[in-house]
Copies of this chain bind each other. A is one copy, B any other.
Amino acid sequence: MPTDLKQLAALLKLSPTTVSRALNGYSDVSEATRQRVAEAAKAAGYEPSPAARRLAIGRADAVGIVYPVEADFMGNPLFLEMIGGVSDRLDGAGYDVLLAVARKKTELRTYERLVRGRRVDGLIVAHTRVKDERIDFLRGTQMPFIGYGRTSECDDFPWLDFDNEACTRLAMNELTARGHRRIAYIHSPLNLNFAQQRYDGYLKAMAAAGLVVNPEHVLTGGHDRRGGYEATKRLLALADTRPTAILVDSNLCGVGTVRALLQAGIAIGTEMSVIVIDGLPVDTPLYDQDIAAIAQPTAHASGWTMADMLLKLIEGKPLDEPRVLKQPQFVNGRSLGLAPT
């Protein structure tokens, strides 16, 4: 079984050159030989050596995703889903997915390794922060990349993100329209750009509604279920100033919030209204609680789109839409009611 281009060529009594061109679909090879070569290759189970290919072509045929563990050490299920979307797009194009797990300390060096060594043809930068040195680094290189999220200054690089301010604005509209005035806000760490933007949206909406923010009503929920749970318990402990509605800026925290409410015996939708941005994960038994949500395109779809953008960039094609801002949608649920009087 020929494992080699040379051997395959010898077998076919052709030159390696011709075989190579036949396999790569060049126009200047007769249809007859193309067929013959293709069959022989498949029969022999021939796979070109990526290393040699890369060396000759100068491309890595790989895309990198750097996963910062500290940000989310337990593993956000949405992250794997996003990677699934990326893979689905890249698979047919013959690209590999390099997953680099980086501690905060070594993160930048990881990027340097990938870029300098041309280990990848492009990168997807997830978990963007308000001020993000990874983006700063990539700006100075020729390496194509897509931000999965924006940064504070983001007009000069391509990204895909959700309209985060709109997320909170939309949610706040629904709440104020129902008469809520004491609206609590549970958020992710504010160095993450999406969290900061959603938080801004909350503040602006409060101001627009003529409401004063009670500092006790704004709590960080960390990245996980547990954080949301504890933040909510603190809110419930407020005697006189207990909020009548809670807005949660991410799905995992949302689970914790709903848990805490159920456990405390609070009637969701009457005693306490709840909106969770991104909605609850479908794998939770709470899913049937029918919690109102701000819905985004799925992580899978986002991954697919980003991979598609990245491929265009790698091929040197211009991006018709270099900055993709997905608009959120309000999804009603039984967790929403009029403010108690």
Contacts and interface: CB of A to CB of B under 8 A. Distances in A.
A275 to B, nearest CB: 19
Q: How many copies of the polypeptide does the oligomer hold?
A: 2
A286 B259 CA distance: 9
B47 A117 contact: yes
A118 B3 CA distance: 11
A189 to B, nearest CB: 15
Contacts of A78: 75
A74 B281 contact: yes
A52 B285 CA distance: 51
Nearest to A87: B101
A285 B256 contact: yes
A285 B100 CA distance: 30
Interface stretch (A180-188, A209-217, A224-232): A224-232
B282 A74 contact: yes
A271 interface: no
A49 B98 CA distance: 16
Contact of A259 (B69, B119, B285): B285
B283 A49 contact: no
B96 A284 contact: no
Contact of A116 (B45, B51, B69, B256): B45
A243 to B, nearest CB: 19
A297 interface: no
Contacts of A175: none
Given A47-B116, A225-B284, A285-B259, A100 B100 contact: no
A117 to B, nearest CB: 4
A339 interface: no
24 contacts: A3-B116, A45-B116, A47-B116, A47-B117, A49-B117, A50-B60, A50-B117, A50-B118, A51-B51, A51-B54, A51-B60, A67-B80, A74-B283, A75-B77, A75-B78, A75-B80, A79-B80, A87-B99, A87-B101, A88-B101, A97-B98, A228-B285, A230-B285, A259-B286
Interface of A: 3, 45-52, 54-55, 60, 67, 69, 73-81, 83-84, 87-88, 91, 96-101, 106, 112-113, 116-119, 224-226, 228-230, 252, 255-256, 259-260, 262-263, 281-287
